[in-house]
Amino acid sequence: MKRIIFHIDQNCYFASVEMISKPELRNVPMAVAGDASARHGIILAKNEPAKRYGIKTAEAIWQAKAKCPDLVLVDSHHEKYEFYSRKLREMYSEYTDKVEPFGLDECWLDMTGIVSGYDEAEEVALEIRNRVKDEFKLTCSVGISFNKVFAKLGSDYKKPDATTVFSDTDWQEKIWPLPVSDLLFVGKHTEDKLLKINVKTIGDLARTDSAYISTYLGKAGAVLWEYANGLDNAPVAESGYKRIPKSVGNSTTTAEDMTSDRQIERTLHMLSESVAMRLRKHGLKGTVVQITVRDRDLAIYEKQSILYRATDDAKDIYEAARDLFKNSYDWNKGVRSIGVRCTKLVRSDSGEQLSLFSEAGKSERDERLNKAIDDINRRYGTSVIKSAAEAESASRENKADKIVSDPFHPEDDFK
């Protein structure tokens, strides 16, 4: 049976959600921005009027303001974006049980066997777009094709509020002339490498020798060559399916550059607690700890170490991260941001081999303690119980000025 895959992409999602409760901003240049006081001063999303000024996602606020001095900036509210994302997925699930999220604002739907062909698929896509407008006051673009990659390409092809079909009979004439950067997972670095061998379009990539492109780009080259030739057969996951993450991490940019080991240790404590809690939530343990450090000149380096045993314990993660930093950073420059990540994850119930009986006892005690802490935090709020170092750090942060957002009442947006 011929596959028919939808990719639904909400238009200007963060900005559009903000405009639900602030309709007066629909016709003026507006952008959702990070907190400049916390040095996250970048554009996170923008509406259509702001796009016309050339404002781009991830550029600095000052750059955006230089293009459009009258740009209205709005704080981000991730609880809103998650709420609407969940509601939209519930609506999509009325059409198929195979709904796979791709970020908060995008989803693939497998409509194979549900629609008889591309004509009916377009009719259903129009119905979904109209429902998104009527029920959520948002707009979306829908791509329809015979695989996930081309469906995603279709939703990007025409915006806002549009449907694009790349069928199994006309996809080459429509897709091959497009810039190679339009293809899923072709980022700036890969695009630059492809341009060096005169691969400018998706068709150029498709017609390049597969063995050569695999040698030139490695494993990613083989995958991209298959994408360009319409050979993506990846299934759409069923609703509720959650991929096992390849890594779990957290990072922070501090209000001022960190200039001492003590400041770093406090921050690493906080990050390690967060990473450990998320590992336990997913039922996973990490076998490698990695730190990412960015100095005041924005230079970045990463270091990692293999753990003696897989862990989801904050103390183990913190000690590994602390040692990585101490053994690699010489304090020539202050630290602007730092991140902690666990990789090479294994399931918590996969078992582990310990060399000493005392370690087994310690591991069991730590797991019971962590479970008790997680249960309390789950019942009474995240981080009701904190480590001493994290609590001290939080106390210091609370003395700084903070922006307080209005509480989110989702029912208000549906009035």
SS3 annotation, the chain: CCCCEEEEEECCHHHHHHHHHCHHHCCCCEEEECCHHHCCCEEEEECHHHHCCCCCCCCEHHHHHHHCCCCEEEECCHHHHHHHHHHHHHHHCCCCCCEEECCCCEEEEECECCECCHHHHHHHHHHHHHHHHHHHCCCEEEEEECCHHHHHHHHHHCCCCCEEEECCCCHHHHHCCCEHHHCCCCCHHHHHHHHHCCCCEHHHHHHCCHHHHHHHHCHHHHHHHHHHCCCCCCCCCCCCCCCCCCEEEEEEEEEEEECCHHHHHHHHHHHHHHHHHHHHHHCEEEEEEEEEEEECCCCEEEEEEEEEEEECCHHHHHHHHHHHHHCCCCCCCCEEEEEEEEECCEEHHHCCCCCCHHHHHHHHHHHHHHHHHHHHHHHHCCCCCCCHHHHHHHHHHHCCCCCCCCCCCHHHHCC
pLDDT attached to residue 36: 56
Both 285 and 385 in one domain: the answer is: yes
Same domain, 204 and 296: no
Q: Classify the C-alpha dihedral 407-105-293-374 as positive or negative.
A: positive
Distance CA 292, CA 257 (A): 15
* CA distances for 357 relative to 351, 361, 365, angstroms: 15, 7, 13
Cα separation of 338 and 302, whole Å? 10
pLDDT in tens, the chain (415 residues): 899 999 999 999 999 999 999 999 999 999 999 765 544 578 999 999 999 999 998 888 999 999 999 999 999 999 999 999 999 999 999 999 999 999 899 999 999 999 999 999 999 999 999 999 999 999 999 999 999 999 999 999 999 999 999 999 999 999 999 999 999 999 888 999 999 999 999 999 999 999 999 999 988 899 999 999 999 999 998 876 666 778 899 998 888 899 999 999 999 999 999 999 989 988 899 999 999 999 888 788 899 998 888 999 999 999 999 999 999 898 889 999 999 999 988 888 765 544 444 444 455 556 665 565 555 555 555 454 555 545 544 444 444 333 334 455 555 555 4
CA distance 65 to 73: 10
- Same domain for 15 and 161, yes or no, is yes
Q: Pseudo-torsion of CA 247, 252, 257, 263, nearest 10°?
A: -80
**Amino acid 371: pLDDT:** 60
Q: What is the pLDDT of residue 41?
A: 77
Identify which of 40, 69, 39, 43 has the alpha carbon closest to the alpha carbon of residue 56: 43
Cα 399 to Cα 390: distance, rounded to the nearest angstrom: 15
My answer on whether 360 and 299 are in the same domain is yes
Q: Name the amino acid, one letter, at 58.
A: A
* 411 flagged as catalytic: no
pLDDT of residue 168: 95
Residue 71 lies in a domain: yes
Per-residue model confidence as pLDDT tens digits over 162-220: 999 999 999 999 999 999 999 999 988 899 999 999 999 999 999 999 999 999 998 88
What are the tokens at 195?
Answer: 């341009």
Is 308 domain-assigned?
A: yes
What's the confidence (pLDDT) of residue 238? 85
Domain harbouring 128, CATH code: 3.30.70.270
pLDDT score of 255: 80
414 in a domain, yes or no?
no
Q: Is there a single domain that holds both residue 52 and residue 152?
A: yes
Domain boundary among 221, 240, 259: 240
- Render pLDDT for 324-373 as a digit per residue (tens, 0 to 9): 999 989 888 999 999 999 998 888 876 554 444 444 445 555 666 556 55
pLDDT for the residue 1: 80
Residues 143, 180, single domain; the answer is no
User: One-letter amino acid identity for 72?
Assistant: V
Total domain count, the chain? 3
Residues 196 and 289 grouped into a single domain: no
Domain with 363, as residue range(s), is: 247-398
| Residue 289 and residue 327 in contact, taking contact as beta carbons nearer than 8 Å | no
Q: How far is the C-alpha of 243 from the C-alpha of 284, rounded, in Å? A: 12
pTM, full prediction: 0.66
CATH number of the domain bearing residue 235: 1.10.150.20
Q: Are residues 274 and 290 in the same domain?
A: yes
Q: In whole angstroms, what is the distance from residue 237 CA to residue 60 CA?
A: 36
Residue 114 lies in a domain: yes
Length of the chain: 415
Same domain, 210 and 132: no
Q: Is residue 404 in a domain?
A: no
Whether residue 216 is found in the same domain as residue 328:
no
Distance CA 309, CA 367 (A): 14
Query: Does residue 407 form part of some domain?
Result: no
State the burial class of residue 237 (Cβ atoms within 10 Å of its Cβ: 0-12, 13-18, 19+): middle
- Could you say which of 18, 79, 100, 106 is catalytic? 106
- Domain assignment present for residue 12? The answer is yes
Task: Kindly state whether residues 17 and 153 are assigned to the same domain.
Answer: yes
Residues in Cβ contact with 389 at an 8 Å cutoff, skipping those fewer than 6 apart: 265, 266, 269, 270
CATH number of the domain to which 339 belongs = 3.30.1490.100
139 & 260 share domain: no
Structure tokens at 33: 């921005």
Q: Which amino acid is at 49?
A: P
pLDDT at position 312 is: 92
Q: Which of 201, 221, 240 is the last residue of a domain?
A: 240
Q: Please give the span between the terminal C-alpha atoms of the chain, in angstroms, as a whole number.
A: 43
* Paired strand residues for 124: none
Does a structural domain hold residue 413?
no
Residue 145: closest CA among 125, 127, 171 = 171
Structure tokens at 25: 């901003």
pLDDT score, position 239: 78
What per-residue confidence (pLDDT) applies to 299? 84
Of 139, 168, 197, which marks where a domain is finished? 168
